[in-house]
Amino acid sequence: MSLTGERSNKAGQPGNSKVYVQIPASTANLGPGFDALGMALGLYAWIEMGVAEHTEIRLYGDQMTGVPTDKSNLVYKVAQQVFEKAGVDCPELDIAMYSDIPLTRGLGSSASAIVGALVAANALIGDKLSRHELFQMASALEKHPDNVGASLFGGLTVAFWDGQRAEHIRVVPDDRLEVLVAIPRFQLSTEKARHVLPEQVPMKDAVFNIGHASLLVAAFCTGRYDMIRYAMKDALHQPYRAPLVPGMSDILAAAEDHGALGVALSGAGPTLLALADGQQGRGAELERFLIDTLRANGIEADTMWLKVSAEGATVLTHFDSAVPLIDNIRAHVHA
């Protein structure tokens, strides 16, 4: 099948000439759920993708600095994998991307690009692949399913990827849950943060994490938020990563005393993430504690309060294909 011969202008329909996808950021691990738990956050990236005579990639927003605009771009490369798997001629693409998700900070920017590319390219060819197939591809690309699962499906995703197969269940925490992220003003690549982890861990640490991760999932499923402070503890990755983020150990040790339900390194870091119960009214105290503790350790950080994004990557039908992506963002998102 050739894509270029079958165009229409209606987003979400087979043979689209242009599609728009909104993708949530994500936090991974949530402490003990290393490479298994992910949560979609209400902070987004948007991708516009269309078939073109010659490939052109336009990136908007402060978060896109340094991302390539040639065919080495992750979004372009992942889109080609979709066409190949679906048996469609690999077309030249017109791609635009705008993102509010900070790069290389532990909020799933690479997963948002991968998931956005998969969903947009699939929408462009009339959704020939299922979301399950996209999840397999995303997990194989990212090498762990936590961020991509959350960005693809939304909510809290509990997942495994065994190198061959990925499976997940999505749980949506109730509305009380608020997420505070403190984003240090330095980058820490996942590659570097995985490099400090040991090849092998003691059995007692593995047992520790199985119990804690299981209890954490049960706490979310039953609304037992009082259990999060006990469950959100980790022995597999945070102790090894703590030296990479000055102040992290102090925050992990005391955030609950300042109103957090629980606290963790977000993904591979350096962002710290605290969960809070919106009804408890201690948000300002918690935010102050995170900022002050990082500052006392020489780290400046920006904070954001986010909600869980119940929905994963979504094909949008209300963006106007006659205007540039950035104008759609201004009109529909940052109005």
Ligand X SMILES: N[C@@H](CCO)C(=O)O
Binding residues (CB under 6 A) for ligand ATP: these are 28, 67, 73-75, 97, 99, 103-111, 113, 147, 189-190, 267-268
- Which of ligand ATP, ligand X, none sits in contact with 170, Cβ below 5 to 8 A by type? none
Q: 33 or 91, CB closer to ligand X?
A: 33
Q: How far is the CB of 46 from ligand X (least distance, A)?
A: 21
Q: 74 or 316, CB closer to ligand ATP?
A: 74
108: which residues sit within 8 A by CB, 6+ positions away?
A: 25, 26, 27, 28, 38, 101, 147, 150, 151, 267
194 touches ligand X (CB under 6 A):
yes
* CA dist., res. 248 & res. 227, Å (int): 22
267 touches ligand X (CB under 6 A):
yes
> Which amino acid type is present at position 85?
K
80: which residues sit within 8 A by CB, 6+ positions away?
A: 90, 121
Q: How far is the CB of 144 from ligand X (least distance, A)?
A: 5
Q: 8 or 187, CB closer to ligand ATP?
A: 187
> Which amino acid type is present at position 108?
G
124 touches ligand X (CB under 6 A):
no
Residue 257 tokens read as: 């005393």
Q: For the residues of 91-123, what is the DSSP string, one character each?
A: -EEEEEEEE-SPTTSSS-HHHHHHHHHHHHHHH
Rounded to 10 degrees, the C-alpha dihedral 216/223/149/73 comes to: -100
Residue nearest to ligand ATP according to CB distances in the complex: 267
**Binding-site string for ligand X from residue 15 to residue 54, where x marks contact by CB under 6 A and - marks none:** -------------xx----xx-------------------
**Would you say 105 is a known binding-site residue?**
yes
Residue 287 tokens read as: 């935010």
Q: Which residues lie across from 156 on neighbouring strands?
A: 39, 171
> Which amino acid type is present at position 215?
L
Q: 28 or 59, CB closer to ligand X?
A: 28
Query: Binding site: which residues?
Result: 102-112
Interface positions with ligand X (CB under 6 A) = 28-29, 34-35, 144, 146-147, 190, 193-194, 237, 267-268
Residue numbers belonging to the annotated binding site for ATP: 102-112
